[in-house]
Amino acid sequence: MPSAARSFTPLFVAGLVSRGVQFAPITLHTGVASAEVHEPPDGRVIAVGTAAVRAVESATGPDGVRAASGWTDLVVTPERGVRVVDGLLIGLHEPEASHLLMLEAIAGRQAISGGYGKALRHGYLWHEFGDTHLVMP
């Protein structure tokens, strides 16, 4: 189970849906659910976990997100940037983790450095048993 989604209990998801949040399920090993090619996204795309970011960004072409299958070797970095993902729900990773490059690609180095500094000062927990947080530009 992806650790970033641990807090998504049925009750939590039902509460989000009742407030108008839409979910677009993906199956990482087979493809991505997406809008039709000619349709712009309805709103912000918030990925849950780094694997979801890599899957959605890997399925993004010049015409937007499309159904895709296969393996990805995509590494999301500040230099590469993101094309579709607007935000990320993620657990805290160790300050030296390569995941931080992806977070910097989404929110910028300054925001991530500041957020991680505050998390360290306040004793937040790391990784699978850490605190879930929302990363946005």
Round to whole Å and give the CA distance between 116 and 61. 32
Tell me: the pLDDT tens digits for 47-81?
A: 988 889 999 999 998 888 888 888 899 999 999 99
Q: How confident is the model at residue 114 (pLDDT cuts 50, 70, 90)?
A: very high
Greater confidence (106 vs 129) lies with 106
Determine contact, residues 83/57, Cβ cutoff 8 Å. Answer: yes
Greater confidence (8 vs 38) lies with 8
Q: Is residue 36 over pLDDT 70?
A: no
pTM: predicted TM-score of the whole model, two decimal places: 0.71
Contacts of 49 (CB under 8 A, 6+ apart): 2, 3, 4, 5, 88, 89, 90
Tell me which residue has tokens 């605190």: 131
Question: Under CATH, domain 3-135 is a member of which superfamily?
Answer: QueA-like (3.40.1780.10)
In this prediction, residue 79 carries a pLDDT of 96
Q: How many CA atoms lie within 13 A of 48 on its CB side?
A: 16
Contacts of 100 (CB under 8 A, 6+ apart): 93, 112, 116
Greater confidence (84 vs 37) lies with 84
